[in-house]
Chains A and B, each alone.
Chain A
């Protein structure tokens, strides 16, 4: 079959505009992956095309790239599955990381964030005489996060990292959950305190991009949501994020549906002077927003009505201990 590879290239040694697009018309086999096609280009058309790869079997994690704008591994994406109607496949270097050359990106920002969460087991007491014993189930629960191959596809597609490179990001947070949920690790309090900060778990938008692109089913966002809940359950509730989650639940429990005004009040802690003071800038920032909404007659109604059968909703919450 024929395919046109449309490759986003970058040559640091060229003068002026260092990035350009180049198209390669190839004859490939039905079973070819995007990586196979790229290697054919490198071997027969243009040996200067730079890329990373090693295992060719989704194990080493070195071939993450953007394929038709979405991140994934070149070696587990078949051409037939992604070829567009016009016969092209668009390939670009991974996003949210600096490009070194062509499809090769600098992974240092990725690794430095993983290092930040201290990705190793830490204990507090004296070391046990023999091995650390961990229950079987606890290890089974870790299978998914342990499966991470550190490819960076999730980081490449993260919508928060697109606007804020300080966000710790999906891979590091999934890695953190791997140690939080490991019964042998004894640093949860420290880990929670770190991840509760700005740039930590609360900054995720829940966009699901990382869940969608991860080739190993790690589902980083699900891990992030679990950490959020663990943080709240540990009694750490001093963030707008925690107040938002708890406020949301309490409003739905009471009314059955959401009241946006009450949620803002709860999230910004308006009824608690100390919290409100911390959010004072944000609260003042709301004034022009509210004024504009008022002028356009689109402020939510002041009195929020309860839905029919709300007592059943309340009971469901109670039964589930929420």
Chain B
């Protein structure tokens, strides 16, 4: 296992051995209260899916996990280190840049860099952020580009790719940073139905290889299939949480039942 023992600074809510943890995350957009104190800990190697109705705060929450959204209260804790303003020499804290080097993200709308080729998109992080040599970065990048099945597209421009191909490049771009965990926010929602499968296939193979992932998705059966744990969010709170069987076969929560019934229609 890669996870180190947590340091003494971990708050009381920490379950020991968690890789990435959210503690009491609260977020408002002006007067709109979107998240009401969310606690969630992800263990190394775990695949966790977040489901829930539109507007329940899933995206806001997963974006808080790598600080793309700054929580109003609460902490993000990575390997026992609290993410926040860095105090020089204080090993209990980590900057948001460092967090993002360890926790990758894949977006609904791919967000590939349109002025860079497939290969350039994927080596950008290793070269610019990790300061690897170009040769080393290309070697790593080509490895992941091949893994997502796009080796022959290495010199293509993003606008020459299908949606599914773009999303696979975006996954390769995140993987090239060799992150400890990956956050995926509805990575198939912008795809034509016939292209969903190829992207889910890549995510599934990452799960098989033991990648730690937090997956926000509307693909309920995929979530059930690939995750160890499913979290149901409702109006900015975690309303239910459990194994796929607990959540899908015997939902205890009325709202969850109502939510799931829409998928069986």
Pair from one complex = no
